[in-house]
Amino acid sequence: MKKTLIAFLLAAVPTFAFAAQESQLALAEGDFAEQRAEIEEDLADGKTYAEINNRDRAEVREALDRISRELEGVDSVAELAEPAKVTVFNEQERINTILTQAKADSRLVCDHSRPTGSHRRVTKCQTVAERRRRMEADQDHLQRNIQNGIGPANN
């Protein structure tokens, strides 16, 4: 997955950035089908993109469908009309943005610490997104307590 979308991006960028080099790009429909299958597999495995929400998951699948429709019956992106090339590029960017963020949020981070009053080390693992949600919930709780007069006075 790591190199799939990156390879697709690197293959597509020269077409849009350098129109004179269009003949160098050859993204066959079969190549995209392989990339799409790998993305679908990663979405379904429950680990690679564990933190992706259902709305984003659906948006990725819809974008993949739109790219598939544009690539139907062509051997390379170079054969597409300019509006179709732009559509493919934009959908690819949308997919890359969603999946990159989801992968970063799904990264597991472990903390080794000793609870207060104990000599035994405890390992606690959470995804980056879980840690962020916990921190935000703790901050909200503290803010509500301060507003209700429970806790340290405001300076």
Residues 99-112 have pLDDT tens digits of: 888 877 777 788 88
With beta carbons less than 8 A apart as the criterion, state whether 145 and 151 touch: yes
Give the residues across from 110 on adjacent strands: 125
* pLDDT in 10s for each residue of the chain, 155 residues: 444 444 444 444 433 333 322 222 335 555 788 888 888 888 888 777 877 888 988 999 999 999 888 888 887 787 888 888 888 888 888 888 888 888 777 777 888 888 899 889 888 888 887 888 889 988 988 888 888 877 655 55
Phi, psi of 104 (to 5 degrees): -65, -40
Element of type H or E holding 87: helix 82-105
Spatial CB neighbours of 114, under 8 Å, sequence gap ≥ 6: 120, 121, 122
Interatomic CA distance for residues 106 and 150, integer angstroms: 35
Q: Is 4 exposed, middle or buried (0-12, 13-18, 19+ CB in 10 A)?
A: middle
pTM for the model stands at 0.57
